[in-house]
Amino acid sequence: MADINDVMEAMMQTPLGRRINERQISVLCPVCGENYKPDRRHSHCYVGPIQGHPPLVYHCWINECSGVVTPTFLHDLGIYDSDLDNALNGYNRSSGNGINYINTKIKRSNNKPYDVKIPNVRDTQNNQYKLYYMKQRLGVNFSYDNLKGLKVIFSLNDLLKYNNIPPNKKYAKFQKLLDHDYIGFLSTMNDWVILRNTKPNNNMRYVKYGLFNQIDTSNIVYTLPGTQADLFSDYVELNICEGTFDALGVFCHVKKYNRSNAIYAACCGSGYINPIRYFIKLGFIGNLHVNIFSDKDKDIDFYKDQGIYDKIEPWVEGIDIYYNERGKDYGVPRSEISVVCSNKA
């Protein structure tokens, strides 16, 4: 039966793998690729236990990537062995009070959030209208401070000015309109603002506004802040849905503001696979239960075709898919939500 020494030995056999000392090895970082230099002669991602105790963690000295070594980490190194996966999971879960040995806010600098601050909301007539829109849309008596804490952006221009970020030239002709008519949600990595039109007109309903001139929109995720999810808990819920308003509706109405070992996220129309993988790679090891709160127009076959069960189910505690019997989604008042679970059979 494989053990953690076999896992370490397998990593040492990968390109540029080497032993540092009795407890540590070094591998070519699979997170950042160490800037993908083809002529690199040494690896700089150190792997080992914390003070001799599980879990097994990694730290890349080039780009400051760090986290818990998971089976996905092994796979990204080209190691595919179910016995090693099981040995690694068993070792990590044996940490017991391992939470004392590692900060559970796992950092991966390749995806390190930008340092973007949200300004206080000015009490203008336009912002009062947007606050009213949020209250009516979800049936929740929000305040400016509530919504600021949820990374809601009332004024795109105020956000840009507060952080000295130049406007995105792609939307130069619409910048004034986006600031006046739209309310936004700052993404998990603080690099996108998902903007929603609040006015009853024919302008675009949603706009994905890149703060730093990004092009790829495939990995945009909005995560509701302020919840606590312990990497070493036996059970953590990832409640994921399509839109930002859905995430708020699930949090407020379905889960009734539960913040304990629960994550609320929106994939923002970019598909479910990558956002779920993002949370798995943070280091949740066999304890993550995925609840997909689906739009009504996406049936079970949609998720089968996406590969949710093939690509995700082996790495999580379980997957459940829910629908709202009373409406198409969850970004509505509580009286318009009745949740039913649909299995994959």
**What is the DSSP annotation of 197-210?**
E-SSSSS-SEEEEE
Strand positions, DSSP E, 51-161:
53-60, 66-68, 152-153
What is the torsion angle, in degrees rounded to the nearest 10, for the CA atoms of residue 152, residue 340, residue 139 and residue 124? 20
The confidence score (pLDDT) of residue 13 equals 94
The confidence score (pLDDT) of residue 104 equals 36
The confidence score (pLDDT) of residue 63 equals 67
DSSP H or E stretch at residue 341: strand 339-342
Three-state SS for 328? coil
The residue to which tokens 């990832």 are assigned = 238
Instruction: Spell out the per-residue pLDDT of the chain, length 345, in tens.
Output: 689 999 999 999 998 999 988 889 999 988 777 766 666 778 888 899 876 788 888 888 776 677 788 888 899 899 999 899 899 988 888 865 433 333 333 333 345 678 899 999 999 999 999 999 999 999 999 999 999 999 999 999 999 999 999 999 989 999 999 999 999 999 998 999 999 999 999 899 999 999 998 777 777 899 999 887 776 678 999 999 999 999 999 999 999 999 999 999 999 876 888 888 888 877 776 789 999 999 998 999 889 888 888 888 878 889 999 999 999 999 999 999 999 998 764
The confidence score (pLDDT) of residue 42 equals 83
Q: Which fold has domain 222-342?
A: Dna Topoisomerase Vi A Subunit; Chain: A, domain 2 (3.40.1360)
Count of CB atoms within 10 A of residue 67's CB? 21
The confidence score (pLDDT) of residue 109 equals 35
The confidence score (pLDDT) of residue 39 equals 67
Question: What one-letter code names the amino acid at 265?
Answer: A
In whole angstroms, what is the distance from residue 267 CA to residue 164 CA?
27
Write down the domain spans for the chain: 4-111, 125-210, 222-342
The confidence score (pLDDT) of residue 37 equals 64
